[in-house]
Amino acid sequence: MSEFKRVERIESTPFQSGSEKNVHGWERIGSLTGGVIMLGKGLRRGGVFGLIQVALGGMAMARGITGHCSAKSLLEKGRQDMNNARAKIERAGEELTKLKTNAEVATETATVTGNDSLVSPKAGV
């Protein structure tokens, strides 16, 4: 019988954001409201600054309608990566503490025989 390789689905690419909703409740309502206001003000103002205001209003409205914000997901991913790094550092610190404790316990019962190089260093060195 032949073995098939399992194909894993790619959830998102750099040019395609995931479809999960990360904007909820009042934040979503605020985005919709702010987007409508900015869109209206930009249309009334006109010119380059009005066009910029229309674009920002449209982006805020899209955020409110879809319930997804790519910038927010990037920030959340960065926060998650930072928390993972912090956890790894804490685990490494605990491991170093255990190693230090083990080394101290091992040296308490150890005896050293031979030349004590601080008291009587080797001749000719």
Tell me the two tokens of residue 106.
Answer: 């091992």
* Distance, CA of 50 to CA of 61 (rounded, Å): 16
With CA atoms as reference, report the closest residue to 30 among 59, 81, 64. Answer: 64
Model's pTM, two decimal places?
A: 0.52
For the stretch 47-101, pLDDT in tens is: 999 999 999 999 999 999 998 888 888 888 999 999 999 999 999 999 999 999 9
